């Protein structure tokens, strides 16, 4: 009975630690989502203050990554998790990396925004905000899928990545045409291409998160899973 009680106590401690880990990741994801929102808003509104705030707050996100990474490593070292619990922690470490990189992409967009804020736009900002909205929703939904273990939502996120890729290519072609027709637009167009590429990378990180959901829930390597799912659509 004593041995069984000790086992149950250890399970209880570990379950509480998993809850703490998810809460830590949720706080970090909220900061990252806010950074993206502010970065895109700073670009659209040519708002230098918002861009500066995103860059300044990146240190907070970086520190959170280190703190949560230590949290994951301690759980592995002390609790020796197996099966699904180990997948949750291992994928948590990778999720950390994705979130930190998304924060970096928000900083990159903000720096481009700072450059563009005092200059006339090459063209009205229509496709870039649209692309950003899709990527932001992908990130939000992939995080929801991660925290809820929702495979179907993760699959939907994965399928949206192609739309972002196509928009990125379209934006590049259009801006390339502007640069060829008027060399004075080259610097501004290059910065917008840089913004578009960073948004596309945010969508890629959201896709990474979505793919991991299936691995956590089913233990399957999801590229195969999603390819098979896509064929059935």
Among 86, 109, 142, 88, which Cα is nearest to 35's? 109
pLDDT in tens, the chain (233 residues): 544 444 444 556 678 888 898 899 999 999 999 999 999 999 999 999 999 999 999 999 999 999 999 999 999 998 888 888 888 898 889 999 999 999 999 999 999 999 999 899 998 899 999 999 999 999 999 999 988 889 999 989 989 999 999 999 999 999 999 999 999 999 999 999 999 999 999 999 999 999 888 888 887 765 645 555 544 44
CA distance 45 to 6: 58
C-alpha 137: how far from chain center: 10
Element (H, E) at 119: none
Rounded CA separation 10/223 (Å): 35
Query: For residue 215, what pLDDT is reported?
Result: 83
pLDDT at 186: 96
pLDDT at 223: 60
Provide the residue range defining the domain that includes 88.
2-231
Number of domains observed in the structure of the chain:
1
Q: Which of 174, 72, 167 is nearest to 123 (CA)?
A: 174
Q: In this structure, what CATH number is given to the domain that contains residue 158?
A: 1.20.58.220
What span, in angstroms and rounded, lies between the C-alpha atoms of 207 and 156? 10
Q: For the chain, what percentages of helix, strand and coil (3-state, to nearest 5) are there?
A: 90, 0, 10
């Amino acid at each position: 009975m004593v041995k069984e009680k000790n086992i149950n106590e250890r399970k209880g401690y570990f379950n509480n630690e998993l809850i703490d880990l998810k809460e830590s990741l949720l706080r970090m994801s909220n900061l990252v989502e806010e950074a993206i929102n502010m970065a895109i808003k700073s670009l659209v509104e040519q708002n230098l203050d918002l861009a500066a705030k995103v860059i300044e707050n990146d240190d907070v996100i970086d520190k959170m990554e280190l703190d949560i990474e230590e949290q994951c490593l301690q759980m592995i070292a002390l609790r020796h998790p197996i099966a699904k619990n180990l997948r949750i922690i291992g994928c948590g470490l990778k999720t950390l990396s994705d979130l930190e990189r998304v924060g970096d992409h928000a900083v990159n967009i903000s720096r481009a925004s700072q450059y563009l804020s005092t200059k006339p736009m090459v063209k009205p900002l229509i496709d870039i905000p649209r692309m950003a909205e899709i990527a932001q929703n992908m990130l939000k939904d992939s995080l929801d899928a991660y925290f809820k273990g929702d495979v179907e939502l993760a699959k939907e996120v994965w399928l949206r990545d192609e739309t972002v890729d196509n928009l990125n290519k379209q934006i590049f072609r259009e801006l390339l045409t502007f640069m060829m027709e008027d060399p004075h637009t080259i610097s501004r167009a290059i910065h917008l291409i840089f913004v578009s590429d960073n948004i596309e990378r945010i969508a890629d990180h959201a896709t990474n998160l979505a793919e991991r959901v299936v691995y956590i829930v089913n233990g399957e390597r999801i590229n195969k899973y999603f390819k098979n799912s896509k064929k059935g659509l």
